[in-house]
Structure 1
């Protein structure tokens, strides 16, 4: 199987500790983290992805807003530079331990954080990164 992710969720996954918008959102995110932990591939998509699914039934889901698309662009640019490969819709890859460690180191150093500006979760993510990624689910 393949996990469909939008670009900025590559950053969100790094600090996911089981917090989210709703119980359904967290349950879904936990399943995705487990799938990725088992080595499933990632397919980069444009717009809402597998993580967004529980939110799409609500009124005006933020997953459809321009701010989310802007975060995708910034994350794709920064993660692409770090991984020395383009990150755009249609790209497939997997997160091995070395790639995940490199992404986390860059995130903690602020190298890939421009996409996080204005995000309501940025403070929590900073705390998780500063704490050495303790209790992350991926």
Structure 2
């Protein structure tokens, strides 16, 4: 299967430690982190994605606001510059151990954090990053297998 993600959730996943908006949101996010840890690929989408799903039944969910779309644009630009590969809606990618490490290093040094400006979770994410990403739910162990660094299919 494939996990549908909006671009700024590529950054949110880096520091996710099991905190969120509601128990349903956390349970869903945990399941997504587990699927990605097992190697499922990602399909980049515009707007609400699999992480947003539990919030969509609420009145005025923040995932439909312009601020979320702005975070997507900034995250897409930053990740694309870091990886030197196209990052756009419809791209499938494999978030393998090498890519995860590169993203976390760039996040720790502030190179892919512009999308996080003004986010209510920014302080927690900064603490997780400065703590070496301990207890994060997304883990991709280096397994010694020959895997592409970023597999893309349009």
Task: Give the alignment's TM-score, normalised by structure 2.
Answer: 0.89
Q: Deviations over 1:55-98 (max 9, x none)?
A: 00000000000000000000000001111111111010111101
Residue 35 of structure 1 corresponds to 35
Q: Deviations over 1:13-52 (max 9, x none)?
A: 0000000000000000000000000100100000000000
SS, match of residue 125 in structure 2: helix
Could you list the structure 1 runs, at least 4 aligned residues long, displaced by more than 2 angstroms after superposition.
none
Query: Which stretches in structure 2 are left out of the alignment for 5+ residues?
Result: 139-154
Q: Counterparts of 1:25-64 in structure 2 under 5 Å?
A: 25-64=25-64
Question: Larger % of helix: which?
Answer: 1
Q: Distance in 2 between matches of 1:57 and 1:83?
A: 35
Query: Which stretches in structure 1 are left out of the alignment for 5+ residues?
Result: none
SS, match of residue 107 in structure 1: helix
| Alpha-carbon shift at residue 135 of structure 1 (Å) | 0.4
C-alpha RMSD over aligned residues: 0.4
Q: Distance in 1 between matches of 2:83 and 2:40?
A: 18
When Rg is computed on C-alpha atoms for both structures, the one with the higher figure is 2
| Alpha-carbon shift at residue 117 of structure 1 (Å) | 0.1
State the aligned residue count.
138
**Counterpart check, 1:88 vs 2:94:** no
**Counterpart check, 1:71 vs 2:63:** no
SS, match of residue 118 in structure 1: coil
